[in-house]
Structures are given as C-alpha cells and as structure tokens.
Amino acid sequence: MSIETLAEIALAMVAPGKGIIAIDESNATIKKRFDGVGVECTEENRRAYREMLLTTPNLNQHVSGAILFDETIRQSTKDGVPFTKIMMDNGIIPGIKVDKGTFPLAGFPGEVVTEGLDGLRDRLKEYYELGARFAKWRAVINISDDAPSQTAIDANCHALARYASLCQEQGLVPMVEPEVIMDGSHDLDECYDVTEAVLLSLFNALREQGVMIEGTILKASMVISGTTCEEQAEVEEVAAATLHCLRSTVPATLPGIVFLSGGQSDEKATAHLNAMNQMGEQPWPLTFSYGRAMQSAALKIWAQDLTGNLAAAQQTVFDRARANGLAALGEWTA
C-alpha cells in the first residue's frame, strides 16, 4: 500500500475535533462490562449493544473511526445492514483489533506479552476485504516494585513493530498501543519513566522493522499517578508530564496521537485531553480513542431496558463524543 494512502487514512483518523470510539472489547472483556450492569453476554446482546453505539445519530460529527472486534466486524443491524456499511456511509472509518490478548512472559513472573502474530497476514487480508482501514494491537506494561523489566518492554515493542509492518503491507494503518497500566501505588514520576522507556523502545523497534511513521498512529496512555498512589497529580500536572514525555520520544512525522482512557472517569479523561490541547501547538494532533470513557454512561442506561432506552443511551454516547471532540480542540468547558 502506498504511503500516501496510509498517511491519508491516518490523517482522517485524527481530523480536527474528531477521535475514535473503541468498541473492540473481546468477548471476555465485554462479558465483564455486561456482568457489571446485569446483562447476559449473548451474541445477540453484544450485537444489539454495538448497533446502539454505531447508529448514534450524528456520531460522525465528533468521531472519525471505530475499533471493532472480530465478531463485530461481521455483524449487521437488526435490519440486516452490515455495521461496516453503516460506518462507511457515515464517514466513520472501520478499524479492527487484531491482537489475541496478553499471556505471561516466560521467565518474567508478573509480566505479560501480547500474542497474535501467527497467521496475522492472512487475517489482515480478510479484514481489509471486510472494510477495515486501520488496526489496533495493545501491549500491556504493568508497573510494580520490580516491573517492568526492559526485556518485557522490548518483547512487547518488537511484537508491536512486527504487527505494524504487516498492517502497512496489507493496506491498514497500524494503531500501536503500548498501555502503561494505571493500577498500582506508583507516582507520576515513575509512570513518566516507564512511559518514556516504552516509547523509546517502541519507536526504535518501528524503525528497525521499517515501519513508515507517516502511516502510523500512536495510541498512548497518559502519564498519570497510579490508582492507589496517595498523591494524585492534578489535571494540569498530568497534561504537562504527558506532553513532555511525548515530545521527548515521539517523532514529529507521526500523523497523530490518540489516548486510551484506561479506567479514568469520563470527566477526567476529557479534562486531561482538553488541558493538553490548551497547552499550545504540538507536533501532532492529540485526540481520543476511548473505550470505557465513551461507553460507560450509555451502557448503564441501555442495560435498564435493552430496547426501550435507545435514544437516551445514544444521547449519552453523543454527549461524550461531543465533549471529547471539543477537548481535542482544547475548547471543552466542564
């Protein structure tokens, strides 16, 4: 695939005031979310829930793309229209999660590595045919007293780079997601150091594998205090530390950076993005690729009555999309 085409898709993903909705939960993860609101995790309920999200009126005003799961990219609305068609007709770019989740890294207790490279070329070919134009692979980096090791960081970044190279070969923009997990008692500085080490390793691996940075999107975690750290950094501190870390490690040729929400409250996720975008011009657009922070309010409403509350649930999806779209411009007010 030509770099021009990949770069065009990447730029469309981070168009001004727009971001990505992540609805690519694996069946195990969506089951956890459904369990939390008392909904049975059947294929039909997963389909109906994703239909509610994807058919939110005017979603395309603030959303440029959606990341789907393997099951979801093959599903249709109750009227039989493929989700990918609904999306493309509305200018929402279909994306697909292609990793197979995390597994223990042998020899490094407590650390994980993401799997899914075997057979990936053929899976990407099929996803392209199904309409996907970007893909996502998530690596998980945990912080604890003796983690992460440089070995775990490098193993994960190597896999991310192998995945990214295959995506570009098959015409999909790779969204590379090395998530530094918020759980733990670590402080902001520790999160900074780990995030910096991860991003240095990642961009080194991408260069080694010949990945075209101009056709790649980074999905980053924010530099933030661990969830059980006694001293929780303020919004402005998180924004400043995250920007400093990104500016120190990420090439200016990257078309854009999107953030995961990672367990932050809906409002915090929006506030952090907004604060970063108020801190002046950066080398890249900064926007959202939120899962939970886009969906959690809507899921609660939808769960009360799986068919009766569609409009109310969709209104909250739209409200989150609008707030985050404004935050991507630095124009959100609480």
- Positions annotated as catalytic residues are 177, 219
Where does this chain touch ligand 13P (CB under 6 A) — which range of 76-84, 150-158, 207-215, 288-296?
288-296
Q: ∠ at Cα 294 (244, 283), nearest 5°?
A: 25
Among 290, 302, 318, 332, binds ligand 13P (CB under 6 A): 290
User: Which two tokens mark 26?
Assistant: 């694996």
Interaction between residue 161 and ligand 13P (CB under 6 A): no
Cis peptide upstream of residue 82 (ω within 30 degrees of 0): no
Interaction between residue 292 and ligand 13P (CB under 6 A): yes
In terms of residues, how long is the chain? 334
Interaction between residue 160 and ligand 13P (CB under 6 A): no
Q: Which is nearer to ligand 13P, 148 or 208 (CB)?
A: 148
**Shortest Cβ 33–ligand 13P spacing (Å):** 9
Q: Which of 108, 97, 167 is nearest to 139 (CA)?
A: 97
Among 94, 116, 291, 325, binds ligand 13P (CB under 6 A): 291
Among 55, 261, 277, 314, binds ligand 13P (CB under 6 A): 261
Interaction between residue 317 and ligand 13P (CB under 6 A): no
Interaction between residue 262 and ligand 13P (CB under 6 A): yes
What residue ranges in 9-141 does DSSP mark as E strands? 19-22, 63-68, 93-97, 102-104, 112-114, 134-141
Burial group, residue 67, by CB count within 10 angstroms (0-12, 13-18, 19+): buried
Interaction between residue 258 and ligand 13P (CB under 6 A): no
Interaction between residue 22 and ligand 13P (CB under 6 A): yes
How many residues line the site for ligand 13P (CB under 6 A)?
11
Q: ∠ at Cα 285 (87, 52), nearest 5°?
A: 25
Interaction between residue 260 and ligand 13P (CB under 6 A): yes
User: Which two tokens mark 83?
Assistant: 């989700």
Give how far Cα 100 sits from Cα of 28, 70, 164, 261, Å. 12, 10, 15, 20
Q: Where in 125-154 is the site for ligand 13P (CB under 6 A)?
A: 138
* Residues in contact with ligand 13P, shown as a per-residue x/- string from 188 to 227 under the rule CB under 6 A: ----------------------------------------
Among 13, 152, 176, 293, binds ligand 13P (CB under 6 A): 293
Measured CA to CA, the distance from residue 96 to residue 187 in angstroms comes to 33
Interaction between residue 6 and ligand 13P (CB under 6 A): no
Counting Cα atoms < 13 Å in the Cβ hemisphere of 97 gives 26
Interface positions with ligand 13P (CB under 6 A): 22, 24, 138, 177, 260-262, 290-293
